[in-house]
A and B are shown apart, each in its own frame.
Chain A
Amino acid sequence: MHLPFYQGPLRAGFPSAADDYLDQRLDLNEHLITHPASTFFVKVKGDSMINAGIHSGDMLIVDRSIEPKSRNIVVAVINGEFTVKRLLKSKGICQLSPENPDYPLINITDAMDFEIWGIVLHVIHSF
């Protein structure tokens, strides 16, 4: 059972307006998720984003409601396959960049069936 912790000292007379706001324990959901309806959790396998701090086995918090901008880390779909990469956009050229020198840069062409599925906002890594 959780007992609320009253901050104001007890006294007679009119109560302080601040007493209406009880301190709640911090909630990570509230801190990390602004749009619950469009936020999804996914798991990563592979190390192509290792230098961005995304390790194999990590969990990502992905928001679909945000307009993708250049340099965002995104969940993308290329020809029906998911991937996580850094989006680079300039002068009408669109690229997906890995964060690991062992992997190639991907140029997005008109021939590809390409879509940005969501923007990666946070990574959760367990040690």
Chain B
Amino acid sequence: MSQIFALLDCNNFFVSCERVFNPSLRNKPVVVLSNNDGCVISRSNEAKALGIPMGAPYFKCREIFERERIFVYSANFVLYGDISGRVMQTASEFTSELEIYSIDEAFLIWDGTHQNCLNNAQIVRERVKRDTGMPVSIGVAPTKTLAKAANYIAKKKSIDGVFCLLDEKTIEEWLGKTPVGEIWGIGHSKADFLKRHGILTALQLRDMPDAWIKQNLTVISLKTVWELRGIPCISPQDNRDDKKAITTSRTFAKEATNIDELYEPIAAYIANASEKLRSQRSVCGYVQVYLMTNRFKKETYYANSAGIDLTPPTAYTPDLINAAHKLVKSIYKEGCGYKKAGVILSNLQSQLSSQDFLFDESYQRSKKQKLMDVVDSWNNRHNTSKMFLAAEGMAQDWYNQAHKSKRFTTRWDELLEIICD
């Protein structure tokens, strides 16, 4: 049976989280800085309009921030993780299958007979906004790559934040207007290569012959092209080169009914995700775990997620497993049959840029990295017999974040205070 994919993507997610608890930031330029106040990782539309680039280093922008009265926040991943969980939980009520893709994106999978996709997407968008305060855009299409493109169009062109690429004519018209570099899976270098060959739009890429794609790009790019033609071929297990987050999740064949049955797959997902993390020379500053029971058993349905800040950021598997297991414990509810679980590693930073942690324990200087290098090279050479490690203690909170908001939803002593006079 054919499926329809609705990609829900939170608008300027980190900034929008800050605005939920501080409405005076609405309509004002706001930026959120990475761990240790390194560089800009989220911008409000007003900050974008002032020309603040993504990734701009804080020390270089300080002057313009002051001159333009831009509100600056340190990343508060505990808060963002909680809001993310609320958004996903709300969205999960509108689909039998929710595929969480990153901290702020998820695919709602609808069966192909689903009528009124536009209307349904509008309802989801309104409900998420009302229940969680989070503004989202939704792109609807017959493949994930087209849904991503539809979401891009929704963000740029539509007034209500929803856009459908469902009929052939609309698809053709809009792919013709979408730059090839905006297509999911086409990174900077591929986009530059395509431009040199005169391929500027997504439509031109879609209409290139398979043989040319195979010869000049990769097999994965061929999947992208097929998806642009409306043939779904990207599964959750496909590793897309996305720098925002690394996600691993599975639907269990048999429901997990005790916590030990969850520890093992979660550890395996972390091992898998952290290997990807290290292969792109990154460390992660935030780990999130989610659990879901069977959607079709309405009366017992339970879905929850929890996350934790990792300071300093790490790519060390045992630290990550330890953190993930604590998270599982915190949201595990007795008496549920869990059908799906997953982990999301986010707040990714390159191992190089995170060297502004002048601490001995920081991951990239430590024995831990050497150990992981040994493990990864062993695992690369011995694909069948992987090397595993036992867990170790977690890092502590000790580095500088000067502009951090409160953890409004996870600490009793940091609740939102409302002046009532």
Binding site for B on A (CB under 8 A): 35-38, 40-49, 54, 56, 59-60, 64-65, 75, 77, 80-84, 103, 113, 115, 117
Contacts and interface: CB of A to CB of B under 8 A. Distances in A.
Contacts, number: 76
A12 to B, nearest CB: 27
Given A37-B89, A46-B419, A80-B24, 19 more contacts: A36-B89, A37-B85, A38-B86, A43-B417, A43-B418, A44-B417, A45-B417, A45-B418, A49-B420, A60-B418, A64-B131, A64-B132, A64-B133, A80-B23, A81-B23, A81-B419, A83-B419, A83-B420, A117-B133
Contacts of B416: 40, 42-43, 82
B63 interface: no
A82 B419 contact: yes
B418 A64 contact: no
Contact of A84 (B90, B133, B420): B420
A40 B90 CA distance: 14
Interface residues of B, number: 23
B299 to A, nearest CB: 14
B415 A64 contact: no
B415 A42 contact: yes
A83 B418 CA distance: 6
A121 to B, nearest CB: 14
Given A36-B89, A37-B86, A46 B131 contact: no
Contacts of A40: 408-409, 416
A3 to B, nearest CB: 14
Contact of A115 (B23, B304, B421): B23
B297 interface: no
A65 B419 contact: no
Nearest to A35: B131
B90 A37 contact: yes
A60 B85 CA distance: 21
Contacts of B24: 80-81
Interface in B112-145: 127, 130-133
Contact of B131 (A37, A56, A82): A37
Given A37-B86, A37-B131, A80-B24, A48 B418 contact: no
A42 B90 contact: no
Interface in B299-321: 304
